[in-house]
Structure 1
Amino acid sequence: MIQLILARHAKSDWADEGLDDHDRPLNDRGRRDAPAMARRVVRRGVRPEVLLSSTALRARQTAEAFGRAFEVDVVEQADLYLADPDHLLAAARAAGVDEVMVVAHDPGMSALVSRLADRDERMVTCAVAVFTWHEGTWDDVDATPPDEFELLTP
């Protein structure tokens, strides 16, 4: 079984206009949504073996909430910051395990989710897309429709 969980970071804080985009933290809503969404995903029986995150502060904070819920360490990857769909998928494949979660940014997240779901999907902040292929390998992920697809939003 291959399971790919894609999450867009939770809502970030725009109050400090002088802050670099990479350093924007979660706002109050984001700090509430991330652990709540993590609990929803866990209740569905989803538990990735590896959790990859962009190094942007808002993504790291989101990933940390999921990591606590899944009891898995967060692996930060600088190249996931504003990554395109091909790179997001390549990072998941390269993790070397069958169940991977990636926390990153739009527009790459929405584009990858839309591509794998074969329909237009918008990843709002803290949305989580869960794709499952019951048979096959990572080579099948972009070539075969998933057996299951679920999009969860806060």
Structure 2
Amino acid sequence: MPRLILYRHAKSDWSNPEVHDHDRWLAPRGEDAAQRMAAWIDAERLTPDLILCSTALRTRLTLQALLPVLRGSCEIRLLREIYDASESDYVDLLRTHGGGAQTLMLIAHNPAIHDTARELVVDGDADAMHALAEKFPTAGLAEINLPCEDFSGLQPASGRLVRFVRPRDLM
């Protein structure tokens, strides 16, 4: 049973309107949240064997905070199509690129990451379901168990939300 970890990039810096959206850095609050989430991911041993990450700078910096805590072998793929698909959901992308990963982490953008979580999750922890229904904040993370053999068989309304963690939950 594959496990999907949807991880929204940490808070980006909007202070310079001249910077192209793809090239925005993390805000100080985002840097802090990325470090706290990385420490939590390490403590919970949520080590993916595949990470699909948008090519946007803010997602790569969120990934960078994770690198020191990744255990074992983990394939990392930077995909421009994750950034380009940020107004739709990521289900087709997960089917195409997820392969036989047992634990896949997608580091991506809103609204698509929230839409994807809502499309996939059918049940789970009641508190986590309620929090996910409200908002998928920056540096938020949803852990979803899927009943398919591999990601090519990913189906809507089939996942179980194990937990939904926000940076503010770790303070």
TM-score, length of structure 1 as denominator length: 0.86
| Aligned twin of 1:101 | 105
* Native 8 Å contact 1:63 1:74 kept in 2: no
Give the structure 1 partner of residue 125 of structure 2: none
- Identity of paired residues, percent? 29
Deviations 1:10-65 (A, max 9, x none): 00000111100000000101111112112212222211001111000001100121
Task: Measure the CA separation in 2 of the matches of 1:66 and 1:14.
Answer: 23
1:91 to 1:14, Cα distance in 2 relative to 1, 3 A: farther
Contact 2:95 2:152 in 1 (8 A): no
Does the alignment pair 1:74 with 2:44?
A: no
Deviation at 1:144, TM superposition (A): 6.0
Q: Tell me how large the CA RMSD over aligned residues is.
A: 2.2
Letter in 1 for 2:114: S
Counterpart position of 2:95: 90
Structure 1: stretches of 5+ with no match in the other structure: none
- Whole-angstrom distance in 2 between the partners of 1:47 and 1:13: 28
1:40 to 2:40 alignment: yes
Unaligned runs of 5+ in 2: 123-128
- Distance in 1 separating the partners of 2:110 and 2:93: 11
Per the alignment, residue 131 of structure 1 pairs with: 144
Q: Who is 2:16 aligned against? A: 16
1:107-142 CA distance string (max 9 Å, x none) = 100000111223635210000111123774335542
Cα 1:82–1:150 change in 2 (3 A) is farther
Q: Post-superposition shift, 1:104? A: 0.6
Partner of 2:115 in structure 1? 111
User: TM-score, structure 2 length as denominator?
Assistant: 0.78
Cα distance change of structure 1 residues 90 and 121 upon mapping to structure 2, 3 Å threshold:
farther
Residue identity matched to 1:108: A
Q: Secondary structure at the match of 2:68?
A: helix
Q: For 2:164 and 2:118, how far apart are their aligned partners in 1?
A: 11
